[in-house]
Amino acid sequence: MFHLASAQVNLPRVKLWIGPKEIVSELCHTVPQIATGLMHRTAIGPEETMLFVFAGPRDRSFYMKNVPFDIDVAYIDTEGVIQEIVRLKAQDAKGVPSKSSRIQFVLEAAPDYFTRNGFGPGTLISTERGSLAEVLSPMAQLN
C-alpha cells in the first residue's frame, strides 16, 4: 500500500499553460503523491487541478478510491497534448483506462472544467519553462 492515510497538503505547484490559459496546478511526482492523489479530500474547487507526472509513456488507469466527489481527468501524451478526457465517479475503485499507450501525464480537475474552459483532445499543455516532458519528467519517480 503506497497511498497515504490522510489528505495530502502543501503539494508542490507548477505554472502551466493549457492552450492560451495560464493556471497553477498541484503536482504529484513521487510514489506516495501519485498513489494518494485526491484521496481523503472533501471537495475540489472549480478551478483546482492536480497534475500527475510519470517518467515515460504507457497506458494509464485512474480510479477514485477514498474520493467522495466526481472529477474529470485528461490523459496527456508525451508531447503534452490532451488525448482524451474521462469522468471518474466518486468512490469508484475500478480504474478507467486510457485508450492510448502514450500517456505520460494526467491532469485531474472538477467536473466539466475542461469543457467550461474550451479544452479538449488536441489541446497542448506546457510549462512556462518548456514542454511537460523536458521540464517535469526528470523529477518523476514512476514510469
Instruction: Report which residue type is found at 10.
Output: N
Q: What is the pLDDT of residues 8-32, one digit of tens each?
A: 788 999 999 999 999 999 999 999 9
38 three-state secondary structure: coil
CB atoms within 10 A of CB 99: 11
Residue 73: which of 89, 59, 94 has the closest Cα? 89
- Looking at the whole model, is its pTM more than 0.75? yes
Q: pLDDT value at position 27? A: 98
Name the residue ranges covered by the structural domains of the chain.
Answer: 13-139
Q: Are strands 21-28 and 49-58 parallel, antiparallel or unpaired?
A: parallel
pLDDT for res 47? 96
Chain segment 42-93, per-residue pLDDT in tens: 999 999 999 999 999 999 999 999 999 999 999 999 999 999 999 999 999 9
CA 74, distance to chain mean position in Å, is 7
13-139: CATH number: 2.60.120.1140
Rounded Cα distance, 33 and 106, in Å: 13
